[in-house]
Amino acid sequence: MHASLPAPLPVPAARPEAALGDFIARHRRLFVLTGAGISTGSGIPDYRDADGGWKRVPPITFQAFTGNDLTRRRYWARSLAGWGPFAAARPNAAHHALAMLQRQGRVSRLLTQNVDGLHQRAGSTGVIDLHGRLDQVACLGCGLRLPREGFQRQLLERNPGWDAHLATVAPDGDADLEGVDFAGFDVPDCPACGGMLKPDVVFFGESVPRARVEEATAALHASDAMLVVGSSLMVWSGFRFARMAAEAGIPVAILNRGRTRADDLAMLKLEADCVQVLPGLAGSG
């Protein structure tokens, strides 16, 4: 039988952040889950609108990447164009606020759906990168991992002039390239075994590594509350932790601009900009 959740907290109309401040003050071991909404303030676009729907064509699937040579060339060509702005992104005030809350002993563990590494750059430690990191490239054959910066140089060397194409920055290091023939784009193979290289991130249609899920699950159950920041939780890999928390009687608070899949599981929901709200809470001591 599932534990019952406390009744939802009233959210003050004048200062809605006060309710979240009270929630954080009452729960000293916060399990924090973050999504794309925390990084939009750093210039990285997100995928979904306020209703949780796709703003653009959904991301490439693992099956399409591995099963079609032209699709793979197209992915890497767009990634070549999008990597520069993505790599140049810097942590914003919300990333720094969560790092400060962790230093104050309020955050027990931080789980992120993002692949940008901005939490680590802001100073958060022990971050669980649920969907991996885009700054690494992995071989699907032998498991070799390479820094993306070096792989980016290889892409540029093999495809001179591609960096001159006009592109619009898209989520997660992607870019929109229109009217371009990708057939001649040259993608390096693994230098160790000749296998296929892909970003060291979890694509749609691919499973999150079991060990990563188990680590996050243990961290959740060692916490006394869950805080969701900037995620619609529309994908199962993130939503499962909110459902787990609700089933275990662990109170859930959500700070997100727009609808989330876990709205009916939360005891507190704030529709607000995390970059505006979190710094004041972290600085309150």
The residues assigned a catalytic role are 131
Backbone angles phi, psi at 54, to 5 degrees: -70, 135
Beta bridge partners of 227: 32, 253
| H or E stretch at 169 | strand 168-169
In whole angstroms, give the CA distance from residue 61 to residue 58. 9
- For residue 278, what are the CA distances in angstroms to 20, 57, 143, 184? 9, 31, 38, 47
Contact indicator for 194, 141 with CB cutoff of 8 Å: yes
In whole angstroms, give the CA distance from residue 227 to residue 277. 13
Looking up tokens 């209703």 gives: 51
Q: What is the DSSP string of 229-275?
A: ES----SHHHHHHHHHHHHTT--EEEE-SS--TTGGG-SEEE-S-HH
